[in-house]
Amino acid sequence: MTEDKLKEFRRRIDVIDDQILDLLNRRARIVVEVGKAKQGARGDFYVPSREKAIYDRLIHDNPGPFPDDGVRRVFREIISASLSLEEPLKVAFLGPQATFTHVATMQQFGQSARLVPQKSIPAVFDEVARDRANYGVVPVENSNEGIVNHTLDMFFESDLKIIAEILLEISHDLLSVSGDLAAVRKVISHPQALAQCREWLEENLPHVPLVDVASTALAAQLVADDESAAAIASKQAGSLYGLKVAKHKIEDNPNNFTRFLVVGRNTPSRSGNDKTSIMFSVKDEAGILYRMLEPFSSRGINLCKIESRPLRKKAWEYIFFLDLEGHIEDAVIREAVEDLRQYCQFLKVLGSYPRVR
């Protein structure tokens, strides 16, 4: 390729970039007008169903070669910056920075939101409940290690609603100051991360002691001051604390996802592909499990998940958590939930929100 041809290609790219910039500002001016129109109106500025519709439409109409995942990431940041023009979003998340919850929060809300780390799951709920944050993000389950019980327990007492879910693919790196695997004398991480890398550790570092800490990000922070140690954490944590990668992707199961919930004060409207979460306790009597499921089975409603937790105040009594396809505004879902209610000592709709594949 001649230098003249290369210059011509770059000139054409510059022209297109200028057009993109002009279009972004035209879009921003309309967003400002939308914000003015919303002033004084009831409802949230952040609408997950609207956001999902934008992604779905653009990816469906994308002719390529720009990748679909790139379309989603680019428009995630465009929407994030646009929301900051309407009303700056403050989002609490289970911290510290560079944890997988932080990564999931950035994936959902983009870089323009104000992301505030909290020390515990109850603290995230409290920030939102007290109106010190617009939304909160907490982990709820991992595909390998199961449910996060602290999150489920919070819904028993909280009036907050689930407004969205996030699925994040989890990949663990072994990080150290030198990046030398032979120099590792101990491995530090969150217990769940250690469990997800158990086979790799037994095969590659069989005699190295494992140390539990509160988060993968804290592990990276500690390792930054200890050249004999390695952390199992995200690449974002390694970047934040200046660590080198001793080994990429050491998780035993490459199909490793964590599901996070976004909590807020209001249930979003229907997106057309939704999920509803409820919690309830049932009377202890013969055939109750069958009657508990029958309102959904008879209407052909797909149940995505059933989880049970013992009641902390009563021995041998349980709270059930149920995820089902559909929105609570759908007549068939509303009727099924009301049918279930007659068998329950307690029932709460935790929220309806766009379903993520």
Active site residues: 258, 260
Q: How many distinct helices (H) and strands (E) make up the chain?
A: 12, 15
Specify the DSSP element, H or E, that contains 210. strand 210-212
Q: Which amino acid is at 228?
A: S
List all residues 6 or more positions away from 322 whose beta carbon is below 8 Å from its beta carbon: 277, 278, 279, 280, 303, 305, 306, 307
Q: Which residues of 34-51 are buried (b: 16+ CB within 10 A; e: fewer)?
A: eeeeeeeeeebebbbbeb
List all residues 6 or more positions away from 198 whose beta carbon is below 8 Å from its beta carbon: 252
Q: How far apart are CA 131 and CA 118, in angstroms?
A: 15
Percentages of the chain per state (helix, strand, coil), in multiples of 5: 40, 25, 30
